[in-house]
Amino acid sequence: MSYKHQFSDLHNFVNDLYTLGETIGKGHFAVVKIARHIFTQKEVAVKVIDKTKLDEISKTHLFQEVKCMKLVQHPNVVRLYEVIDTPNKLCLILEFADGGDMYDYIIKHANGLNESLARRYFRQICRALKYCHEMSVCHRDLKPENLVFFEKQGVVKLTDFARRYFRQICRALKYCHEMSVCHRDLKPENLVFFEKQGVVKLTDFGTN
């Protein structure tokens, strides 16, 4: 599956390739449906986002999420298969989590996970976060709703990178290197966020 297509009629294109099923999620700007690829029969999640309802900052965060999901390829991170971009809609074709998210699991199971299974899932989450940090990606929104289960695979995966700031970090590091400054201690604790500006900035150059 390719990463990006541009079509004026999103509905027709999606229906040409996928058989859409039930709605599994709905928000102010997006709808998520189960779908099956017509030729491969692979089950996926189709997230359709209405760009007309987003302000410029939200659009920036949205495209940051897409770029990040293309970059981050790990067994414990939800995979982005394809992006369909039109003037008014953005459609993301994603791995389908057949076990739902961790929040739903907690609500449905008052006694929680058994200790052995909890340890296994915790290790998987840690591996995903370690990989993201090695790629200079800071998730910033880790919560049960953004951890989804793949029961057939027996794994948990990280999703929803809408609040990451990878490109801004890269620009800051490029500038530092051009000024012959090497940070040497790049880690989440040394990245500070300015929510009103929608930016992230480097701090703590004490180890240069």
Cα separations in angstroms, 19 against 76, 88, 100, 155, 199: 26, 22, 20, 26, 39
Distance, CA of 107 to CA of 120 (rounded, Å): 20
Q: Radius of gyration over alpha carbons of the chain, in Å?
A: 19
Distance, CA of 141 to CA of 121 (rounded, Å): 18
Q: Are 108 and 100 in contact (CB under 8 A)?
A: no
> Is 101 one of the annotated active-site residues of the chain?
no
Out of 9, 85, 104, 141, which one is annotated catalytic? Answer: 141
Please give the structure tokens belonging to residue 136: 């200079």
Q: How many CB atoms lie within 10 A of CB 24?
A: 15
How many residues comprise the chain?
208
Order of all β-strands in the sheet with 80-85: 4-6, 80-85, 89-95, 43-50, 30-37, 18-26
How wide is the angle at C-alpha 199 spanned by C-alphas 194 and 201, nearest 5°? 80
Q: Is 47 annotated as a binding residue?
A: yes
Strand partners, 94: 45, 80
| Residues tagged in the binding site annotation for ATP | 47
Q: Which residues are catalytic?
A: 141
| Residues tagged in the binding site annotation | 47
